[in-house]
């Protein structure tokens, strides 16, 4: 079992690869941060559904059902981009929260109030680490 140096980049890459391969479901090793990110993707309509599978003594898995347009077969997620990396963390304060594609996409931000979207962070006027962009 290899240790992943950047679990969030791994999460985004697994989802990105599953979309490119037109998979319906993708399995990702779970963590609290990834669970919160998955809930945000579900609430914002980027994925169909998800299921947290707990394992005794292990972190468990997240099963994500990806969302595609029935006619065009295109994914609801056009792009996933890692912003803050382990080697170079990207932070923003409450008044400098980035907009993704002029508000069409979302930024997922880890704040003191939990993992939230850029819109929620603007409303609560809190900053934090900009984890990724989803559009």
Is-contact 36 115, C-beta < 8 A? yes
Higher-scoring residue by pLDDT: 9, 56: 9
Asked whether residue 115 carries a pLDDT value surpassing 60, the answer given is yes
Mean pLDDT, range 77-90, rounded to an integer: 95
d(CA 27, CA 29): 7
CATH code at 7-66: 3.30.1370.30
> pLDDT tens-digit profile of 1-53?
567 889 999 999 999 999 999 999 999 999 999 999 999 999 999 999 999 99
Mean pLDDT, range 50-79, rounded to an integer: 91
Fold classification of 80-134 is: Dna Ligase; domain 1 (3.30.1490)
Compute the CA torsion angle 4, 130, 103, 16 (nearest 10 deg).
-10
User: What is residue 58's predicted lDDT score, i.e. its pLDDT?
Assistant: 79
Which pair of structure tokens corresponds to residue 2?
């290899």
User: What is residue 2's predicted lDDT score, i.e. its pLDDT?
Assistant: 61
Listed by start position, the domains of the chain span 7-66, 80-134
């Amino acid at each position: 079992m290899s240790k992943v140096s950047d679990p969030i980049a791994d999460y985004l890459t697994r989802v990105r690869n599953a979309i490119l391969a037109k998979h319906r479901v993708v399995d990702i090793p779970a963590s609290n941060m990834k669970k919160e990110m998955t809930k945000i993707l579900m609430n914002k309509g980027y994925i169909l559904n998800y299921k947290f599978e707990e394992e005794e003594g292990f972190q468990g898995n997240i099963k994500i059902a990806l969302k595609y347009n029935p006619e065009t077969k295109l994914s609801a997620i056009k792009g996933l981009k890692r912003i803050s990396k382990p080697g170079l963390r990207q932070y923003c304060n409450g008044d400098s929260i980035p907009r993704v594609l002029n508000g069409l996409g979302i930024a997922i931000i880890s704040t003191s109030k939990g993992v939230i979207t850029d819109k929620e962070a603007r409303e609560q006027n809190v900053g934090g680490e900009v984890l990724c962009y989803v559009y």
